[in-house]
């Protein structure tokens, strides 16, 4: 894979919009992203959501981007963290493993009972998305799809809802999850995934 990642126009526009906004705290409806609404500032980590005492599963979006090399190749503000993985190291690991270990959702799977809500914070230096998908697939950056082996784009990424974009330091809080299996992925780095298995009790 080339050291310099060429982002398609749509990805550049989406990422520029995300990076131009200050980190926000929003409510994410995992079952229907059209129902997203602004939650306002604050972090309800490890607490009830204040509505009906639902259980909360905290989740972190992580990366280790080196701002010097990432910003030189991708543009100012692409990485606002203080990580130590250069873009060349990122590309080398991706070429070998088809994923980059430091770019992850933590945890990558979890269980819960009906009514559990997800509390998401982007602890990385790059923008990520936390997008509900029916099935895992590729995202909005063709070169990353190809390198990671995700050549079939997830429809939810092809029609990306901007409200699922989480800039560095950004925060999302989910609505209660129903019984079943729920999948979420980053539509920029498509190997970043988590699966929630929700039972009745």
DSSP 50: S
Calpha distance 57→71 (Å, rounded)? 33
- Residue 201's pLDDT band (boundaries 50, 70, 90)? confident
* 74-92 per-position pLDDT tens digit: 999 999 999 999 999 999 9
In the predicted model, what is the mean pLDDT of residues 143-161?
97
pTM above 0.75, yes or no: yes
Residues 115 and 93: their CA atoms lie apart, in Å, by: 38
pLDDT at 47: 37
Residue 112 β-bridge partners: 198
Which numeric CATH code is attached to 9-62+103-199?
2.60.40.420
Q: What is the mean pLDDT of residues 128-150?
A: 97
Q: Is 81 exposed, middle or buried (0-12, 13-18, 19+ CB in 10 A)?
A: buried
What is the rounded end-to-end Cα distance, in angstroms, of the chain?
46
**Chain centroid offset of residue 77 CA:** 17
pLDDT tens sequence across 161-191: 998 999 999 999 888 999 999 999 999 999 9
Instruction: Using the predicted structure, report yes or no on whether residue 54 has a pLDDT greater than 80.
Output: no
């Amino acid at each position: 894979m080339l050291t310099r990642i060429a982002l398609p126009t749509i990805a550049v526009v989406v990422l520029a919009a995300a990076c131009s906004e200050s980190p926000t705290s929003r409510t994410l409806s995992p079952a229907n992203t059209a129902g997203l609404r602004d939650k306002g500032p604050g972090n309800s980590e490890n607490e009830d959501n204040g509505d009906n005492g639902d259980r909360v599963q905290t989740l972190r979006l992580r990366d280790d981007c080196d701002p010097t090399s990432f910003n030189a190749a991708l543009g100012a503000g692409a990485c606002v963290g203080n990580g130590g993985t250069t873009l060349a190291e990122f590309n080398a690991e991706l070429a070998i493993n088809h994923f980059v270990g430091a770019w992850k959702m933590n945890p990558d799977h979890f269980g819960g009972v009906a009514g559990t809500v997800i509390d998401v914070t982007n602890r990385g230096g790059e923008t990520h998305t936390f997008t509900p998908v029916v099935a895992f697939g590729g995202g909005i950056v063709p070169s990353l799809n190809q390198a990671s082996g995700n050549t079939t784009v997830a429809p939810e990424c092809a029609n990306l809802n901007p409200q699922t974009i989480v800039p560095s330091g950004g925060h999302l809080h989910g609505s209660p999850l129903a019984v079943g299996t729920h999948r979420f992925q980053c539509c920029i780095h498509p190997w970043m995934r988590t699966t929630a298995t929700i039972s009745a009790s």
